[in-house]
Structure 1
C-alpha cells in the first residue's frame, strides 16, 4: 500500500477508528457490568477501596465433609478447578443456588481418586476482625452448603 505524504488512506483510518471504538466500548461495558471476566479490562474493584482499620477482612473458603471429618479445601486448578477470586466473583450465584458447589466437589473428588468422595461442600468466609489495623480475632462463617444426594 502506497502512503501519500504520510497520510493514511480512508480504509486504514476506518479500521483503526473501529478498533479503537470497539476497545473503548469493551472497557466501558466491563466497568458498568463489574465483569472481571474481561480482565484486564474489568472493573478491578478489589483495589478501589481501603479497609477500615476497625473493620473486617473477609476471604472465601471451602470446607468439605467426609463422614465425621471436616477438611479445609484449597482453591486452585489442582483442587477444585477455580481460584479464590473467581469463586468470590460468583459467590452471589452460589448462594442463590447451592447446587453450583457440586462441580467443585466433583473436581476435588477427581483430583483425589484415592480418597472417598466428599459427602458435602460448604462455602464459607474467613472473617478477620481488625482493631487499629491489626488482627484481633477470626471466625469462619458458613454461607451455603451442598450435600451429595444418595
Structure 2
C-alpha cells in the first residue's frame, strides 16, 4: 500500500480555493437557472420532472423537399448536425425568428448531399395532456415555418444575410 503524504498548506489552500470558486459559480448558475451557465449551472431540460396532470411537449422538425414529400428531419451528428436539445433550449428564439431554421437546410445539404433539398421547414411539437399520468389527448402544433432560401445551395443564403 502506498505511503500517504500530507498536503502542504499551499497545496491545501489551492485546492480549497478552486473548490470554492467552482462551488460559487455552480450556486450562481443554479440561481440564474439558465442554460448559458452550463456546465457551471443546471441544464433545465434534464432537471425537471413531469407533472402527472401536466402536458408533455415533444419538439421535432419536418421538411418538405423538392419532390413535395414531407420528411422528418433527423437531429444530431448523423442527421443535420444540430441536436434536439439545441433547438429546445432556444425554442422561443426559433419561434420568434424562423430564419434560424435555415441552419437545418444547410446541415442537410452538407451531411446528405444526395438527398432531395429541403424547400420548407416546419418546427413542430406534439403536446400530450396527462391525467393521473395517463395520456388524455395529443395535439400537434406547428410552431414555426420557414421557406428555405436557395434550396439547392442553402448555405449561400448565409452569405447574403
* TM-score (norm: length of structure 1): 0.79
Task: Report if the CA contact (8 A) 2:59-2:84 is conserved.
Answer: yes
4+ long deviations beyond 6 Å: none
Q: How does 1:1-150 map to 2 (within 5 A)?
A: 6=6, 8-9=8-9, 11-31=10-30, 32-35=32-35, 38-39=38-39, 41-45=40-44, 46-53=46-53, 55-67=54-66, 68-150=68-150
Local SS of the residue matching 1:128: strand
CA displacement 1:71-119 (0-9 Å, x = unmatched): 1112221112122222211112212221211112211222221122101
Alignment gaps of 5+ in structure 1: none
* TM-score (norm: length of structure 2): 0.75
Task: Report if the CA contact (8 A) 1:36-1:43 is conserved.
Answer: no
Change in 2 beyond 3 A, CA 1:30/1:80: farther
Alignment gaps of 5+ in structure 2: 151-161
How far the C-alpha of 1:125 sits from its partner, in A, is 0.7
CA distance in 2 between partners of 1:75 and 1:22 (Å): 36
Count of residues paired in the alignment: 143
Local SS of the residue matching 1:28: helix
